[in-house]
Amino acid sequence: MLAKGQPAPIAGADDEPFSILADDGTIRPGTRAPEIPDEVARRLYRGMLQVRLVDDRMMKLQRQGRLGFAMSSLGEEATHFGAAYTLRDSDWIFPSYREPGVFFWRGYTLKDYVNQLHGNAEDPIKGRQMPVHHSANWLNIVSISSPVGTQIPQAAGLAMAARISKKDDCALVFFGEGTASTGQFHVGLNFAGVFKAPCIFFCRNNGWAISTPGNKQTAARSIAIKALAYGMPGIRVDGNDLLAVIAVMQDAVARARAGEGPTLIEAVTYRRGGHSSSDDPSVYRDPAEPKQWEAKDPLERWRRYLETRKLWTQELHDQYTQEITDELMAAVKRAGDLGNPPVESMFDDVFSEIPPHLQEQKAELMSLPRAKPQHGGH
Amino acid sequence: MPVWNIIQAVNDALRIEMRRDQRVVVLGEDVGKFGGVFRATTGLYDEFGPDRVFDTPLAEAGIIGSAVGMALYGLRPVPEIQFADFIYPAYDQIVNELAKFRYRSGGQYPCPVVIRTPYGGGIRGGHYHSQSPEAYFAHTPGLKVVIPSNPYDAKGLLLSAIRGEDPVIFMEPKRVYRAAKGEVPEGDYTVPLGQAKVVREGSQLTVLCYGAMVHTCVEAAQMAEKDGFDPEIIDLRTLLPLDAETVLTSVRKTGRVVIAHEAPKTCGYGAELAAMIAEKALLSLEAPINRVAGFDTPFPYTLENEYLPSPDRVALAIKQTAQF
């Protein structure tokens, strides 16, 4: 068991997730909360609220046939912000596909976000990938990949490179508990352990990999405990407790910067929505289960915490909601009006320069009649 | 000018580039103190230290996956995969990640990693130390595929590859690692990617080959020459991007084509060459295109000399094609 009251314990991988905020938003007795300045505490609230509002709207657009695909982070927002908040801008983030909050925290605009989902002419990745596969090199956030886990050894390698370059930057990599079953998880953590890479492995254990529950992924009693096999500390944290996530991340970042190597964090949370817009969880799980997790909602818990600090009012919430909604609706309208990326751009970025065989194929495509535009974005 | 073998040439290229560019790092299994199982990284650890030349855990997906991360940070990793036969655990990292990073990020993330790997048969290595997997990579948009046949090209092509902005699969013909010797300038020079080389001029037919097969084809040409045949031999050097112009110029001149490679025939790189020639120079052809390739079996151990295209087999193909 974790000793209650320890400042963000980092050694061990106990069954009981480390927590600071009680469900009612009060600090658990005997725990030491990280100090969050007032303005930052409000920004974190606004950020989580933004993810929630954006997810809701994108899912509706998908249902209306205006987007090909969407994903929701409902109930997991604290993991995005608790992790991203503790990093410097020069640190690197390798997201999985369910952490839009890390993009927003670093300044990815709603325009960027919505344009990517539309794959339109202003999509930062030029319509190259289906919705949710963002990439923002100007924010040190790496392109998202669908095959789960490939980002894990890459993050380890980037952290190794920082160390080789004598910089104290670190890498943060997200993945789910299902991904902890992959060989890439093993390979990435093993490399990072051996090279003492300044890498933070952040597992969002949300209980479900599409329809497969966590107990079908591993016989180990936690994900965090696997850290022992790689010679690094592992810790379970309440992923719906923003303060606790911040606390364990701060410790992990400090270790990484000090040259003490990687950390595995298992944030225990719950995927209250489906895997994606293509999923129907009612087929495979008891609807009472997500209902139970509503009581642990990270946004509501943070709201109550802000109330204890007299930082939250209904007016402020309404103001944030209005601002975000206005910005979002403007971005959606604009995204729908923008056309596709130019046809000839299909041949850019395969290589640094277009080689002869692609020049030839490009000329062939441009000489053909244009294909019918696709509906619903994709 | 020193006479070196391919290993010495590769080693020299790595040393030159590591001296010139601090971003270049070498990683892989046994590449450090030991200098690699084929000795291609000999002495680099002593000169550049453990931060730039390092042994990794035994996991190819980790070698390539971590190299990708290093490239994203701005380094120029040159990972070694000890045998091309061992590259498949890294296949996803190569095909879905390394090859696609630039494209899938809309040009945000170039990923200049050069993967060196010894390939090919003829060393009594059996299935797991003899394969020629070049077609898998030539089929993957975003990868360049380079296969030198001699020390001069090995050095110049490797320097070009490391200085380029794209991921490269650099396959080294291990059967002739030490046997292929030649003069190699000591200093810095490059051989551009995407340029084939006519290694023997001839009028009667065109032989297309690369890597260790170049030596087989030269030997075959010498045999055929005695019987009065006059083949032109082209060493492709780069499979992707292919120097189609040099190939087509020769084919238009000779009207006859023999293609030789060690990899299995079906969907081998020769199939692409044959299709390209048929598309662009069909009316120049006076004989069927003749592919001399590995058979469509797994690479056999005891019977490897029956499996591999031999000078005799290539010479026979030259004669048959010339006389068709």
Q: Which residues on chain B are in Cβ contact (under 8 Å) with A121?
A: none
CA distance A358 to chain B (A): 9
* pLDDT 10s digits, B57-103: 999 999 999 999 999 999 999 999 999 999 999 999 999 999 999 99
Token pair recorded at residue B115: 């993967």
Query: Residue B144 contacts by C-beta under 8 Å, 6 or more apart in sequence?
Result: A351, B161, B164, B166, B167, B168, B169, B193, B238, B240, B241
Over 80: is that where the pLDDT of A378 sits? Answer: no
Contact across the interface for A143 and B103, Cβ inside 8 Å: no
Q: How far apart are CA B162 and CA B153, in angstroms?
A: 14
Please state, in angstroms and rounded to a whole number, the distance separating the CA atoms of residues A363 and B258. Answer: 30
Query: Longest C-alpha distance within chain B, in Å?
Result: 59
CA distances from B277 to A42, B147, B273, B284, B288 (A): 66, 21, 6, 9, 11
Selecting from A160, A183, A194 the residue whose C-beta is nearest the C-beta of B57 gives A194
Write out the two tokens for B131.
């394969």
In one-letter notation, the amino acid at residue B15 is R
Distance between CA B274 and CA B278 in Å, rounded?
6
Nearest Cα neighbor of B315 from B297, B290, B295 is B290
* Residue in A142, A160, A349 nearest the CB of B70: A160
State CA B132 to chain mean position distance. 9
Tell me the percentage of chain A whose pLDDT exceeds 70: 95
Tell me the chain A residues in contact with residue B107 when contact means C-beta distances shorter than 8 Å.
126, 348-349
| Contact (CB<8Å) B97/A160 | no
Q: What's the pLDDT tens digit per position in A31-53?
A: 989 999 999 999 999 999 999 99
pLDDT in tens, B264-300: 999 999 999 999 999 999 999 999 999 999 999 999 9
pLDDT at A1: 36
CB contact, 8 Å: B29 with chain A? no
What are A76-132's pLDDT values in tens digits?
Answer: 999 999 999 999 999 999 999 999 999 999 999 999 999 999 999 999 999 999 999
The pLDDT of residue A10: 41
Query: Could you report the per-residue pLDDT of B234-257, keeping only the tens digit for each?
Result: 999 999 999 999 999 999 999 999
Taking the alpha carbons at both ends of chain A, their separation in whole angstroms is 49
Calculate mean pLDDT across residues B195-214. 98
Neighboring chain B residues of A164 at a CB cutoff of 8 Å: 25, 51-52, 70, 75
Supply the pLDDT for residue A375: 53
**Which residue, B134, B154, B159, is CA-closest to B144?**
B134
CA–CA gap between residue A153 and residue A161 (Å, rounded): 12
Q: Does A213 touch chain B (CB under 8 A)?
A: no
Min Cα distance B27 → chain A (Å) is 11
- What's the confidence (pLDDT) of residue A225? 95
> In sequence order, what are the beta bridge partners of B233?
B200, B207
Given a cut of 70, is residue A4 above it in pLDDT? no
Quick check: B40 and B116 in contact, CB under 8 A? Answer: yes
pLDDT, residue A212, reads: 95
Residue B211 has pLDDT above 80, yes or no: yes
Catalytic residue among A63, A88, A284, A378: A284
SS (H, E, C) chain A: CCCCCCCCCCCCCCCCCECCECCCCCECCCCCCCCCCHHHHHHHHHHHHHHHHHHHHHHHHHHCCCCCCCCCCCCCHHHHHHHHHCCCCCCEEECCCCCHHHHHHHCCCHHHHHHHHHCCCCCCCCCCCCCCCCCEHHHCECCCCCCCCCHHHHHHHHHHHHHHCCCCCCEEEEEECCHHHCHHHHHHHHHHHHHCCCEEEEEEECCEECCEEHHHCCCCCCCHHHHHHHCCCEEEEECCCHHHHHHHHHHHHHHHHCCCCCEEEEEECCCCCCCCCCCCHHHCCCCHHHHHHHHHCHHHHHHHHHHHCCCCCHHHHHHHHHHHHHHHHHHHHHHHHCCCCCHHHHHCCCCCCCCHHHHHHHHHHHHCCCCCCCCCCC
Rounded to the nearest integer, the mean pLDDT of chain A is 94
Q: Please say if the pLDDT value at position A7 is more than 80.
A: no
- What is the percent of chain B with per-residue pLDDT over 90, rounded to a whole number? 100
Looking at residue A372, its pLDDT comes to: 84
Contacts of A194 in chain B (CB under 8 A): 56-57
Residue A287: exposure state from Cβ atoms within 10 A (0-12, 13-18, ≥19): exposed
Residue A14: pLDDT band with limits 50, 70, 90: low
Q: Quote the pLDDT of residue A373.
A: 73
How far is CA B246 from each of CA A101, B153, B158, B206, B214, rounded to the nearest angstrom?
Answer: 53, 17, 21, 11, 16
Q: Amino acid identity of B228?
A: G
The answer to whether B149 touches B218, Cβ cutoff 8 Å, is: no
Can you give the pLDDT at residue A9? 42
Is B68 an 8 Å CB contact of chain A? yes
Tens of pLDDT, residue by residue over B152-189, are 999 999 999 999 999 999 999 999 999 999 999 999 99
Nearest to B25 among A164, A349, A352 (CB): A164
Who contacts A348 (Cβ-Cβ below 8 Å, separation ≥6)? A126, A354, B107
Nearest to A188 among B65, B105, B110 (CB): B65
pLDDT of residue A199: 98
pLDDT band for position A12 (cuts 50, 70, 90): very low
CB proximity A340 to B under 8 Å: no
Residue B208 pLDDT exceeds 70: yes
Q: Which residues of A touch B66 (CB under 8 A)?
A: 153-154, 156-157, 160, 188, 191
Pair A70, A107: CB distance under 8 Å? no
Structure confidence at residue B22 as a pLDDT band (50, 70, 90) = very high
**pLDDT (tens digit per residue) in B256-274:** 999 999 999 999 999 999 9
Rg of chain B taking only CA atoms, in angstroms: 19
Closest Cα in chain A, distance from residue B240 (Å): 9
pLDDT at position B312: 98
> Is A147 close to B107, i.e. CB distance below 8 A?
no
Q: Which residues pair with B27 in a beta bridge?
A: B54, B79
pTM exceeds 0.90: yes
Residue A337 distance to chain B (closest CA, Å): 21
> Which one of A92, A349, A362 makes the best mutation probe of the B interface by having the most chain B beta carbons within 10 Å?
A349
For residue B129, indicate whether it is catalytic.
Answer: yes
Residue A11's pLDDT is 45
> Under a CB-based contact definition with an 8 Å cutoff, are residues B152 and B184 in contact?
yes
Residue B103 near chain A (CB below 8 Å): yes
For residue A259, which residues of chain B lie inside 8 Å, CB to CB? none
Position A3 scores a pLDDT of 39
Q: Note the pLDDT tens digit of each residue in A199-255.
A: 999 999 999 999 999 999 999 999 999 999 999 999 999 999 999 999 999 999 999
Which chain B residue shows the shortest CA-CA distance from A171? Answer: B69
Whole-number pLDDT of residue B163 = 98
